[in-house]
Amino acid sequence: MHYIIVSFSHKNTDINTREKLAFNCQTTTEEFLKELVDHKNINEAIALSTCNRVEIILSVSNVIASSEHLFEKLSLHSKLSIEELKGRAEVYEDNGAIHHLFCVCSSLDSLVVGETQISGQLKNAFKFSYERGFCSQKLSRAMHFAFKCAAEIRNSTDISKNPVSVASVAVSKAKDILGNLGGETAIVVGAGEMSILATRHLVSNGCNVLLVNRDLDRAKEIADNKDLRGMVDIEPFSKLKEIINRHKLLFCATGAPHTIITKDMIEKKSFKRYFFDIAMPRDVDNLDDEDVIVFAVDDLEDILNSNLSLREEQAKEAFSIIGRYTIEFYRWLSTLSVDPIIKEMRDQARQCSMKELEKAIYKGHLDEDHREIVKKILHNTFNQFLHEPTKKLKDIQYEPQADMIVEAVKMLFGINKEVKMINKYKCEEHIQRDAQ
């Protein structure tokens, strides 16, 4: 079994290409994952798609055949040639794949180092795949170690202190341009996580917000939040064209599969406007208007690089933690085979039986002549006793819950004192079911 990750990110792929690669709806994602795991060499798959990256995470039996199949499917999905995709992609295998996964989950590979959204996005991608049967034990192991690694980095470093996001960087850029946002009115389009973050940052800078969304009830729910109340008004999506021609600032972060602000919506005005498009795919079309300045995600890199330098020392410590967790993960994997555990259980039973047999003979409770027949009875007894536990261990060894059970057995029988995952290695799905 091998791990593979094929990565397209802000580091190696421009925004136009990332748009073509992005997975914008559940149906498309589900169909793509099914086509992957239907291949005989691909066991499990997860697709992560955000404004900054597309990551395909696989557990495979054959690296070369699986990679070729993946690039073929990505080419069909994106309408880009296989050659172009291979030229852009970073491909990670085994240790490199696990190290990269831990970096992504811990936000060290993010455009904004230390941002906190990526861990949640990765959990959602994992949950989506797990619930539909596209990933199971192998990727579950890696994902939960990744979440554990990210948690330690958050708790033991300051890299996520005063967390920064693309939304906060966009607001910071607007503040740099205008000098002060107090008293300004900004339009925020969308009601997802990025839109909410942008709204909060704008309000904290004294800016009034017009929240535009197709679902007005959802917009009202956001506007009624106690820390936003009185600073956020809602407008129907039907008034978007009118509104964008009245104000200087616009922040767009919808989940629309196509642009929602087009050239024909823009009217000539006597003031400059600044549109911040933090969606993927982009919400704002090429407007070709010198009085409307559009910033996409990649255009915010100057502020993001400043953020990176400020966090450089913390990042060094975080990378050290990731290196340790990568080694620990593979060391832990090597302890999970059930056959050595079954052998150890039988050896312990045999040693206890023989010890008691020798004691009985030494004390005169048993004649030496009966040694072999009693030895055979004891052997049959502990074999019969261990038959059901042994059978169940072998039956569940490839199921997601196996690792937690194996760790529990190891602890109960004193096999390998270093227990890694009891009560920690548990799929999100299992946790939710247990809570119900």
**Burial (0-12, 13-18, 19+ Cβ within 10 Å), 239:** exposed
Beta bridge partners of 209: 186, 232
Partners of 361 in the β-ladder: none
Residue position matching structure tokens 């052998």: 343
Q: Which residue has the tokens 């990042």?
A: 315
Provide the pairing of β-strand 2-9 with 90-93. antiparallel
Q: Is residue 308 pLDDT above 60, yes or no?
A: no
Provide CB contacts within 8 A for 310, sequence distance 6+: none
The residues facing 236 across adjacent strands are: 213
Q: Give the H or E element holding residue 292.
A: strand 292-296
Mean pLDDT calculated for residue range 331-345: 78
Q: Give me the chain's average pLDDT, please.
A: 86
Give dist(CA 255, CA 45) in Å, integer.
Answer: 23
Q: What is the Cα–Cα distance from 155 to 82, expressed in whole angstroms?
A: 41
Tell me what the mean pLDDT of segment 274-284 comes to: 91
Cβ partners under 8 Å of residue 268, min gap 6: 291
Every domain range in the chain assigned CATH 3.40.50.720:
166-307
Tokens of 3: 């791990």
- In the CATH scheme, what is the homologous superfamily, with its name and number, of domain 2-159? Glutamyl-tRNA reductase, N-terminal domain (3.30.460.30)
Entry pTM: 0.65
* CATH 3.30.460.30 domain extents, the chain: 2-159
Judged by average pLDDT, the poorest of 217-221, 232-236, 347-351, 403-407 is 403-407
Looking at per-residue pLDDT, the higher value among 305 and 95 belongs to 95
**How many whole angstroms separate alpha carbon 48 and alpha carbon 116?**
15
Provide CB contacts within 8 A for 138, sequence distance 6+: 1, 3, 43, 44, 59
For the segment 223-252, the average pLDDT, to the nearest whole number, is: 92
The owner of tokens 């933090």 is 278
Strand partners, 93: 4
Mean of pLDDT values over 231-258:
93
Whether pLDDT at 203 is above 90: yes
Q: Homologous superfamily of 166-307 in CATH?
A: NAD(P)-binding Rossmann-like Domain (3.40.50.720)
Report the distance separating Cα 119 and Cα 151, nearest Å: 9
Per DSSP, helices labelled H in 259-370 are 301-310, 312-333, 338-362
H-state helical runs in 179-267:
193-204, 216-223, 240-244
Q: Which tokens go with 404?
A: 């937690």
pLDDT digits (tens, 9 = 90+) for 291-303: 999 998 888 766 6
**Mean local confidence (pLDDT), 416-435:** 41
Q: Which of 114-118, 285-289, 332-336 has the highest mean pLDDT?
A: 285-289
- DSSP 3-state of 382: helix
Q: What is the pLDDT of residue 163?
A: 55
pLDDT of residue 309: 58
What is the mean predicted confidence (pLDDT) over 369-383?
A: 89
d(C-alpha 113, C-alpha 107), whole Å: 6
Q: Which two tokens stand for residue 185?
A: 């009115």
How far, CA to CA in Å, does 377 sit from each of 353, 373, 383, 391? 10, 6, 10, 21
Q: Are 219 and 233 in contact (CB under 8 A)?
A: no
Helix (H, G, I), strand (E, B) or coil at 364: coil
CA–CA separation, 181 and 205 (whole Å): 6
pLDDT in tens, 74-108: 999 999 999 999 999 999 999 999 999 999 999 88
Across 20-24, 42-46, 318-322, 420-424, least confident range? 420-424
Q: Which has the minimum average pLDDT: 108-122, 168-182, 224-238?
A: 108-122
Looking at the chain, how many residues does it have?
Answer: 436
Residue 311: predicted pLDDT: 62
Q: Is the pLDDT of residue 421 over 50?
A: no
Q: What tokens were used for 402? A: 């196996």
pLDDT > 70? residue 398: no
The residues assigned a catalytic role are: 51
Tell me the pLDDT band of 411, cut-offs 50, 70 and 90: confident
